[in-house]
Amino acid sequence: MAVFGASRGIGAAIAEAFLAEGCNVFGFDQTTVAHCQGRDGISLFAGDITSDKDIESFLSQLPPVDHVVYSVGIGSGAFGFPFWKVDTNLWFKVLDVNLLGAVRVAKAFGPLMADRRRGTMLFLSSVAGQIGSQTDPPYSASKAGLNNFVQCVAKDLAPFGVRANTISPGMVKTELNHSVWQASQDGIPEPFRTDYLTWADEKIRKVSPLGRWQELHEFAAMSVFLASEYSRNITGQTINIDGGWVMHS
């Protein structure tokens, strides 16, 4: 199986979970040394998710892949309230990584899975894509677009027995979550700034009925489940692991 964004955060936890299940795991990440052996036996490849050439090179070095996970995402680095404060130029990189990167991966692996008539694709989204988050409008919009695109992927691949879903995290201790806090403190005088854990705890209490952090192992376990036969009738879904932040009837 292939994990994009396998070197850290949720992607690393997912890669390790599949390895524990006995899978051959190949990771793609911009921060790794090219074609090195990663931790716990995960084979890591370096590349740029905005490069079709890098993705094609990665794919050319892999055996047939049954499962693909896209766990790549960046924020704009700007606090987006109100939205017109965010420079338009900051939108392009966010959309290129969060949405078009996922499109590139789906286009590379989807047809091969269709030909083999087997496989699953999983994309890491965010609750921001469902609530119109004012914290970072470019990020929020990119994840909304990702949710919609994966529904298209799921419909196109369903006749071939291939499934595609998204998982949406709420509050997780990752570098991306930390960067959101940093952006929220820009422009605030030092004596009035809030430290990361205080900011996060206040936000969790405000938005999450369960009132607790989401943990990396929870996303890893859901990812393994969605790749298994136990979920063979689940496709085109956005599954929230968010402590009840977003609820649907």
Write down the pLDDT at residue 40: 59
Write out the E strands in the chain: 2-4, 26-29, 36-37, 43-46, 67-70, 120-124, 163-169, 238-241
Mark 149-188 as b/e (b = at least 16 C-beta within 10 Å).
Answer: bbbebbeebeebebbbbbbbbbbbebebbebbbebbeeee
Which structure tokens are listed for 46? 């370096």
Mark 19-47 as b/e (b = at least 16 C-beta within 10 Å).
Answer: beeebebbbbbeebeeeeebeeebbbbbb
CATH topology of domain 2-241: Rossmann fold (3.40.50)
Write down the pLDDT at residue 124: 98
pTM beyond 0.85, yes or no: yes
Write down the pLDDT at residue 153: 98
Partners of 168 in beta bridges: 240
Over the stretch 73-110, which tens digit does the pLDDT of each residue have? 999 988 778 899 899 999 999 999 999 999 999 999 99
- Positions in the chain short of pLDDT 50: 33-37
Per domain, the residue ranges of the chain are: 2-241
